[in-house]
Amino acid sequence: MDSDSDGIGDFQGLTKCLDHLSGIGITCLWLLPFYASPNRDNGYDVMDYYSVDPRLGTLGDFVEFMHQARERGIRVIVDLVVNHTSIQHPWFQAARKDKNSKYRDFYVWSEDPPKSDPKLLMFPNVEDSIWDYDKRAGAYYLHHFYKEQPDLNIANPTVREEICKIMGFWLELGVSGFRIDAAPFLIKGIGIEGANQQDLPDFLAQMREFLSARRGDAILLAEANVPPDQIPIYFGNGDKMHMLFNFLLNQYVFLALARQEASPLRDGLKTLPEMPKNCQWLNFVRHHDELALDRLSQSQQEEVFQAFAPDENMRIYGHGIRRRLPPMLDSDSRRIELVYSLMFSLPGTPLIRYGEEIGMGENLSLPGRDSVRTPMQWSNAANGGFSAAPAAALSRPVITEGEYGYERVNVAKEQRDPNSLVNWMERLVRLRKQCPEFGRGQWQILETDEPCVFAHCCEWEGNAVIALHNLSDRKCIVRLKSSEYQHLSDVFGDRQYEAVSDDSGSIPLEAYGYRWLRVNQM
């Protein structure tokens, strides 16, 4: 929310929104980069790690926001974007000007770089190489993302010290941890052939040691969309990242939804490697980037595209979708609830992004990933209540037209409507808190006689909950193959079902229906 009518959301505005967030039951906020930035990549190109971008407020506003969040029992984690800086960061400016500057070795240079493997390009069609020639420096520098984002040289111990110092700064201001942006690139040895390649992943442990020494209850959450065999690099023995975004499961969920079959989801869960006890998955439906499908085979990707992104304009980078969930599901509230019920019950911690709680849509006329980055829709006031600036001054246009326009989809309207998504979501959050087994327990896939139903059970400290999700558009009656689970009572569902009788063992589910059942100890 924009507090000073300049068309850009800011910390004072965000502070005013904390009551909405605390009302839903949010326990932790993840803030995208808010540091000084020329904004080539939505703030992921940082120019100064120790400041708040003046467009978003001041450090004083940040501290006030932290205080108000803490008052409401909300923790805050922030993005740590240290695979690269902005090209405008003083380190890069010093590095390019002087070969002998101590900052030269903060980045990765080459006089004669190899031809880029197209697989290494994070933004295909936007960049055509991971090396760019800098005239002033007289050399090429490495950049996995935009050319305005030169990669830092993590093999350099001074760079590592600087990164820890940045963490130390924000920890002193009260943050509960960091989302480590682009974690795989941070520990890749490209261009630093001299470095001991074994040493690079050690940096994750070094960061962890520093973090935990400064603040024992803080966490590191890595953004690492990597194949299953590489996941252990990030968790280590429980001495590296506390949490990882569950990119793998996310992609299998969409495949299962596209097929209306549970088997991809089961396969996805089975593919996840065991994690150390003190680590956790972060499950999500969508975030601010594309819905990546790159862990699926070509034909599986095609199935998901056909189901959820039939037009070329809905796709991005050859393997991603640039849409929000509700339009992908034709605004079918049964399917939208099904997806969030599933995500909240899968092993891990659930993440929702602003706007998901009210079912916001996308704007496909905006370029690239901006389609899913339109301003929050608070009310039916001008600009959806996001800003009092003239519409033309907004950082991005609010969605005004059609089914997802702010007059139809907004917080104020939904709060008044007992049947709205936001009120359903609030109940979902509350009940998820009452079923900690989903997050903390041992999970197990349950065999049923219905291929369209995904059934699983989570047990923790002698208690167990079962979740059933019918991914198909036809109703069914499920029978669990194991008779181990008796005396089931409904906790949550898409409607009020009749109580499950122990004798019949049959559990009815509507089309796209879902039920959470507590296994009662007798």
> Binding residues for ligand NOJ, per CB under 6 A?
41-42, 44, 81, 145, 181-182, 223, 288-289
Q: How many CA atoms lie within 13 A of 378 on its CB side?
A: 19
Q: How far is the CB of 77 from ligand NOJ (least distance, A)?
A: 14
Q: How far is the CB of 81 from ligand NOJ (least distance, A)?
A: 6
Q: Which of 211, 312, 306 is nearest to 257 (CA)?
A: 306
Q: Residue 416, class by beta-carbon neighbours within 10 Å (0-12 exposed, 13-18 middle, 19+ buried)?
A: exposed
Q: Which of 519, 147, 512 is nearest to 334 (CA)?
A: 512
Residue 375: count of CB within 10 angstroms of its CB: 25
Instruction: Tell me the residue type at 197.
Output: Q
Residue position matching structure tokens 């010290």? 161
Token representation of residue 267? 């396969």
Q: What is the DSSP letter of 375?
A: P
Which residues touch 302 (CB under 8 Å, ≥6 apart)? Answer: none
Which residues touch 436 (CB under 8 Å, ≥6 apart)? Answer: 460
Instruction: Tell me the residue type at 342.
Output: L
Q: How far is the CB of 44 from ligand NOJ (least distance, A)?
A: 3
Q: How far is the CB of 146 from ligand NOJ (least distance, A)?
A: 8
Q: Which is nearer to ligand NOJ, 223 or 437 (CB)?
A: 223
Distance CA 358, CA 417 (A): 12
Q: How far is the CB of 151 from ligand NOJ (least distance, A)?
A: 10
Q: How far is the CB of 195 from ligand NOJ (least distance, A)?
A: 22
Report whether 27 contacts 36 (CB < 8 A): no
Q: Which is nearer to ligand NOJ, 247 or 485 (CB)?
A: 247
Q: Which is nearer to ligand NOJ, 288 or 474 (CB)?
A: 288
> What phi and psi values does residue 112 have, to the nearest 5 degrees?
-145, 75
- Spell out where 14-108 has E strands: 28-31, 35-36, 48-52, 75-80
Token representation of residue 473? 């558009």
Q: Which is nearer to ligand NOJ, 151 or 337 (CB)?
A: 151
Q: How far is the CB of 178 from ligand NOJ (least distance, A)?
A: 13
Q: How far is the CB of 194 from ligand NOJ (least distance, A)?
A: 25
Q: Which of 411, 433, 434 is nearest to 423 (CA)?
A: 411
Instruction: Give the catalytic positions in this structure.
Output: 181, 223
Pairing of strands 280-284, 463-470: unpaired
Q: Which is nearer to ligand NOJ, 42 or 58 (CB)?
A: 42
Q: Which of 353, 343, 351 is nearest to 374 (CA)?
A: 353
Q: How far is the CB of 188 from ligand NOJ (least distance, A)?
A: 14
Report whether 77 contacts 219 (CB < 8 A): yes
Q: Give, for 134, the enclosing helix (H) or strand (E).
A: strand 131-134
Q: Which is nearer to ligand NOJ, 36 or 511 (CB)?
A: 36
Distance CA 19, CA 66 (A): 13
Residue of this chain nearest to ligand NOJ (CB atom): 44
Number of H helices, E strands in the chain: 16, 22
Q: How far apart are the first and last CA of the chain?
A: 50
Pairing of strands 219-222, 177-180: parallel
Q: Which is nearer to ligand NOJ, 151 or 437 (CB)?
A: 151
Using CA of residue 38, residue 42, residue 48, residue 54, what is the dihedral sign?
positive
Q: Which of 55, 30, 32, 31 is nearest to 43 (CA)?
A: 32
Q: Which is nearer to ligand NOJ, 145 or 443 (CB)?
A: 145
